[in-house]
Amino acid sequence: MLDAEMPDAGDDIHPLFFGAPKTTEFRKLRKRIVQAVRDAIDTYAMVERGARWLVCLSGGKDSYTLLAALHELKWRGLLPVDLLACNLDQGQPGFPATVLPEFLTRMGVPHRIEYRDTYSVVVGKVPQGRTYCALCSRLRRGNLYRIAREEGCSAVVLGHHRDDILETFFMNLFHGGRLATMPPKLVNEEGDLFVLRPLAFVAEADCDRFARAMNYPIIPCDLCGSQDGLQRQQVKAILDEWERRSPGRRQVMFRALMNARPSHLLDPALFDFAALARQPVELPANGAEADGVR
């Protein structure tokens, strides 16, 4: 558990927050995000004291928000781990290769920039008309694991937020036939690295407002020219419509993921239905006595 109370943001801040808007609205947004990140770290026991985390930075709004929140917690002595930012340049056409190293150097953030042309591999293997995302993600993840090991990191930290987790849940529900989503904490298949998602409690809209208010140099995620998975787009549209009709619906659904009741689902591997036993009730000799009538 992270110790001590988180103070209000003041003038003594990490360089990632220089130039932050002075409005009350932004201060509340910033505090809400940082507190939500802290809550997720605490709830899912993400911290190993003295550990080193590889914080994956794509240049999108979510990864900038993640980087800033983690550095604020560390700056205030509330996150006892070393942070190494990492960007994997996968060779997508048009990727602005100088943006992130210049930004990270200017902000004084320790970082590693890695170039691996996985884009050419993906284009060569994925049939025309199919999306690149699945294979691209696998290749990216493998390289990030390798970098984490080379840098002595015990965890790979990703910028997936609450809405990503919800969308993945519904994609698995609608298309995969299972109740599953991105967990906030897991161990990789090799068993030597944690994969952490400290933005698990943060809404996508808050990431967007925060990164834009800070004027971070956002790099679009469509540089490869491929469509994102159409299934995810469809699920996102459904969730957007539900949220429009009933504001707050996303948060209610997210809370449901934290309140699973195996006995009220249908998976016999999670709940031992065969072990359920009745407890016979002894009825009074006179049925009327059951109602208290004599």
SS (HEC) of the chain: CCCCCCCCCCCCCCHHHCCCCCCHHHHHHHHHHHHHHHHHHHHCCCCCCCCEEEEECCCCHHHHHHHHHHHHHHHCCCCCCEEEEEEEECCCCCCCCCHHHHHHHHCCCCEEEEECCHHHHHHHHCCCCCCCHHHHHHHHHHHHHHHHHHCCCCEEECCCCHHHHHHHHHHHHHHHCCCCCCCCEEECCCCCCEEECCCCCCCHHHHHHHHHHCCCCCCCCCCCCCCCCHHHHHHHHHHHHHHHHCCCHHHHHHHHHCCCCHHHCCCCCCCCHHHCCCCCCCCCCCHHHHHCCC
From first to last of its 294 residues, the chain has per-residue pLDDT tens of 554 444 444 445 788 888 899 999 999 999 999 999 999 999 999 999 889 999 999 999 999 999 999 999 999 999 999 999 999 888 788 888 899 999 999 999 999 999 988 777 877 777 776 676 777 778 888 899 999 999 999 999 999 999 999 999 999 999 899 999 999 999 999 999 999 999 999 999 999 999 999 999 998 776 555 555 578 888 999 999 999 999 999 999 999 999 999 999 999 999 999 999 999 898 887 755 555 555
pLDDT at 2: 53
Residue ranges and CATH numbers for the domains of the chain are 15-275 (3.40.50.620)
pLDDT at 288: 57
pLDDT at 140: 85
pLDDT at 134: 74
Q: Does the model's pTM come out above 0.75?
A: yes
pLDDT at 222: 64
pLDDT at 83: 97
